[in-house]
Structure 1
Amino acid sequence: MDNNTQFKPSLRLVDATMLVAGSMIGSGIFIVSADITRNVGSAGWLIMVWLLTGFMTLTAALSYGELSSMFPKAGGQYVYLKQAYNPLVGFLYGWSFFTVIQTATIAAVGVAFAKFTAYLIPQVSEDLVAVDLGFMHISPAQLLSILVIVFLTYINTRGVNSGKFVQTILTMAKLLSILGLIVFGLFALKTSIWNSNWTDVWNLHKLNKDGSVASYTTIAALGAIASAMVGSIFSSDSWHNVTFIAGEIKNPKRNIGLSLALGTIIVTVIYVVTNIMYTGVLSLHEIAISDKDRVAVTASQQIWGSTGTVIIALLIMVSTFGCNNGLIMAGARVYYSMAKDGLFIKKAGELNKNSVPGFSLWVQCLFACLWSLSGRYGDLLDMISFVVVVFYMLTIGGIFILRKKMPDVERPYKAFGYPVLPIIYIIMGLSFCLLLIYYKPNYTWPGLIITLCGIPVYYLIMGKDKKKPQPVPEAALTE
């Protein structure tokens, strides 16, 4: 191992933008609109949920641009939180990120890839049993998910150029494919369905799968919007992954902020237009009752007939494969930064001969594979949405703190709309979290518990560090 190995700036603006877009677009846009429709009951509010999420995502991305220009190095959000608050807050984010946020997301996207592969190859169905261990059954879909995760991890250990090639090509392919779905869907638009869906568009109500409806009180209506946004926020998450690999981006002070803006704008527009297309080919009831919530499959069958299932399966396979590559590439850089601070496995703070954190990649791979086997990752991802938004709010709040704490630090890029837009984001995020606490406690407390479990772990690590000899470790001297 060459201890002098450093990250190599190899990613251009287009590569960084494709990482932002590719990490955001997984399987969510093809699925979550069913649950959103059941919560809001109207086409207008379906689109409004996606617009609100897009506004929050873009506002956060523009705010992160300032932080990335201040700290253009590996670690992203972990580094920002540590600098704005203290090492404990940074660690709690890194802890949550490693234990659930990133690793379970990788697992969920991997199994989504396998589920849609089963449309083409029934032998890998999640309903079959490949291994019977007595206390648990492992499906072919779970095994395929693990295979994909291991394969993509291996590609990324070969160097950032290998990962960026896969990411850029697959993201461009998925963007073109989704645009194709939108165009064909708009050509297949049915006037009667469109007129029906877009009549009384702001009538917010609950739409049950049996076709019945239920009205909301004013406060309950806000809770319904927050519940609906769980899916859209999950679908729009991971846009900040590009900040984790800042050390490998050319001209990071310029290109990170720009890629965040471009990537989130591209995806937000695609998400909104895709849902407009859904309302042109499917009734709201058909969207709400889609088999296993797979709205895109139902829509594609209306657009292309029986071959639609195959077309959409291929599209989602490309989408989830590329999404996982971006998640795997970026996530390991957080553990690398934590290890450099003595808050993670020491070996995770080393780069391999290809100038990437190989050990971090494989540790992440192991945990993601375990989540693939657990079968409970989907529930945990819903629960962790609350914690994700909490950390976003803390990070954006950190901009105000750092402007007072570090007024003289160079800021090549400043948060757009400061202080108004960051404040609006914090208000919207706080409202979202408070409404979820009241109306969807199952989405909040488990995520909080997982995060708070990191506190004793942090002090345990710090306590061990105090027992070490006082001389500064060699690793710190070469930092």
Structure 2
Amino acid sequence: MKKELGLLDATMLVVGSMIGSGIFIVSADIVRQVGSAGWLIIIWLLTGAITLTAALSYGELSAMFPKAGGQYVYLREAYNRLIAFLYGWALFAVVQTGTIAAVGVAFAKFTAYLFPAVSDEHILYQYNIFQLNAAQITAIAVIVLLTWLNTRGVKNGKILQTVLTIVKILSLGGLTILGLITAFKSEIWNLNWTDAWTPKTWDFSGEMFVNISGAALFAAIVSAMVGSLFSSDAWNNVTFIAGEIRNPERNIGLSLFLGTLIVTVIYVSTNVMYLATVSLQDIAFAPADRVAVVASHAIFGNVGTVVIAVMIMISTFGCDNGLILSGARVYYTMANDGVFFKQAGKLNRFEVPGWGLWAQCVWASALCLTGKYGDLLNYVIFVVLIFYALTIIGVFILRKKRPDIPRTYKAFGYPVLPAIYVIAAFSICIGLLIYQPTFTWPGLIIVLMGIPVYYLIGNKN
């Protein structure tokens, strides 16, 4: 593989893969769960701290194993091939491909603000319960286009990724600053911060906010963090493409730190802007949860919808490119380990895993057609957190198991910060098991389905 990516490219891959459409939407559900300005900011700060802690721990692993495959390789070296395969299986079956599909459809839905013909309400074909709409076709077209571009060499993908992410950062930064300067409403700000530290949750039966504490507060925090954690996910994608990063021992760990820090600052600042321009009630009950549309209307007036639609189109297009670019490298490494289709372990004439890219494209497109990609993503947040925690536990295991491997970078705050992350991640998982069983058990089933597949493929190879 060609080492085409420098520190800037790697950092932009982290930022671009993290920022999709979540920051424009999920704050509505967070407010319905925790009910106050102070707790809204706490949820985003807590999410940022958890993500940053994990990224700092991954830096040590990336320095030890600067190879294509990233997290899959870390799990294989710390545990065994079965655990690593189950991660790769979940990645291909749902996590990476489902996210690609969901982000592609989000691109289409906001494109429909400018071009109504690509709306999901424009039904092209229907047979019994199956419906094919224009948004799905648009999403598939975007996925195919970006896949084709990335099969032509990593340089094409990285240039597009870096440019779009810089535009994305400047756009979000500009929206936040402009909102705080021109649309700041002191009466809304003061009202939002009145009683800001009393957690409340929306009672749908009584149609009112009610105070919560104890177990109810823990349940609300866990439920609220499902959205914020999804919005902050995919930061680990840069580890997948380690084989094409220059000086990976240094640049992967540094890009993880810089990228997650940049996104945390952007996310918290954006929510401060929401609180300065939109009432808490309007955030919680924004139409279709599109908080950014409401805030943009407060800043730009009637053209606000167009402004935010263009921003989200840029954001989701760049996010999908980063996900497509990085994901196939995991399948490439799995294939070379004998636990995935052999063709995925080959490079094309542009020295990228072209077969793996197209396999990812086909399955992500199929998920677009099901219309169930959103449900699939909800199912796996529990599983994603477990694999993150297992990977960071791997730092402790490898310190004992492989002390001979050079570590040009060591996990910041070891052993305290990595341990805190593991405790936090498992605490959230326990909370999800108790309070969101609809999301957790299907995710576990999807992962466990990979066990017979592992032995079937392993025996065949």
TM-score, L = length of structure 2: 0.98
CA distance in 1, matches of 2:215, 2:380: 23
Residue number in structure 1 paired with 2:184: 189
Amino acid at match of 1:369: S
Matched, 1:116 2:110: yes
Conservation of the 8 A alpha-carbon contact between 2:36 and 2:199: yes
Residue number in structure 2 paired with 1:303: 299
Percent identity reads 63
CA distance in 1, matches of 2:61, 2:148: 31
Residue number in structure 1 paired with 2:20: 26
Conservation of the 8 A alpha-carbon contact between 1:211 and 1:285: no
Conservation of the 8 A alpha-carbon contact between 1:207 and 1:288: no
CA distance in 2, matches of 1:167, 1:68: 21
Deviation of residue 132 (structure 1)? 2.4
Matched, 1:201 2:187: no
Amino acid at match of 2:453: V
1:153-208, CA deviations, whole angstroms, 9 ceiling, x for partnerless residues? 00000000000010000000010000111011102111011001111111111035
Structure 1 counterpart of 2:228, from 214, 226, 232:
232
Deviation of residue 269 (structure 1)? 0.3
CA distance in 1, matches of 2:433, 2:321: 33
Deviation of residue 216 (structure 1)? 2.4
Conservation of the 8 A alpha-carbon contact between 1:81 and 1:398: yes
CA distance in 2, matches of 1:133, 1:170: 38
1:71-102, CA deviations, whole angstroms, 9 ceiling, x for partnerless residues? 00100000000000010000000000000000
Which SS does the other structure have where 1:132 is aligned?
A: strand
Deviates more, 1:300-309 or 1:127-136: 127-136
Conservation of the 8 A alpha-carbon contact between 1:58 and 1:265: yes
Conservation of the 8 A alpha-carbon contact between 2:192 and 2:275: yes
Q: Give the unaligned 5+ runs of structure 2.
A: none
Residue number in structure 2 paired with 1:248: 244
Conservation of the 8 A alpha-carbon contact between 2:199 and 2:213: no
CA distance in 1, matches of 2:24, 2:266: 12
Which runs of 4 or more aligned residues in structure 1 lie more than 3 Å from their structure 2 counterparts after TM superposition?
208-211
Amino acid at match of 1:185: G
Conservation of the 8 A alpha-carbon contact between 1:21 and 1:267: yes
1:260-303, CA deviations, whole angstroms, 9 ceiling, x for partnerless residues? 00000000000001001101111111001111111100110111
Residue number in structure 2 paired with 1:385: 381
Deviation of residue 431 (structure 1)? 0.7
Conservation of the 8 A alpha-carbon contact between 2:198 and 2:211: no
Matched, 1:97 2:91: yes
Residue number in structure 2 paired with 1:140: 134
Residue number in structure 1 paired with 2:411: 415
Which SS does the other structure have where 2:68 is aligned?
A: coil
Conservation of the 8 A alpha-carbon contact between 1:348 and 1:360: yes
Residue number in structure 2 paired with 1:441: 437
Conservation of the 8 A alpha-carbon contact between 1:290 and 1:298: yes
Residue number in structure 1 paired with 2:425: 429
CA distance in 2, matches of 1:20, 1:464: 36
* Superposed counterparts of 1:221-300, under 5 Å: 221-300=217-296
Matched, 1:131 2:130: no
Deviation of residue 23 (structure 1)? 0.2
CA distance in 2, matches of 1:346, 1:457: 15
Residue number in structure 2 paired with 1:165: 159
Which SS does the other structure have where 2:260 is aligned?
A: helix
CA distance in 2, matches of 1:220, 1:452: 31
TM-score, L = length of structure 1: 0.95
* Superposed counterparts of 1:36-51, under 5 Å: 36-51=30-45
Deviation of residue 313 (structure 1)? 0.1
Deviation of residue 130 (structure 1)? 1.5
CA distance in 2, matches of 1:336, 1:106: 18
Residue number in structure 2 paired with 1:400: 396
Q: Give the unaligned 5+ runs of structure 1.
A: 1-6, 466-479
* Matched positions, count: 459
1:10-67, CA deviations, whole angstroms, 9 ceiling, x for partnerless residues? 1010000000000000000000000001000000000000011000100000000000
CA distance in 1, matches of 2:61, 2:35: 39
Deviates more, 1:126-135 or 1:216-225: 126-135
Residue number in structure 1 paired with 2:348: 352
Deviates more, 1:11-20 or 1:129-138: 129-138
Residue number in structure 2 paired with 1:320: 316
Which SS does the other structure have where 1:355 is aligned?
A: coil
1:210-239, CA deviations, whole angstroms, 9 ceiling, x for partnerless residues? 861123241111011010000000000000
Deviation of residue 403 (structure 1)? 0.4
| Structure 1 vs Structure 2 CA RMSD | 1.0
Deviation of residue 462 (structure 1)? 2.5
Conservation of the 8 A alpha-carbon contact between 1:49 and 1:229: yes
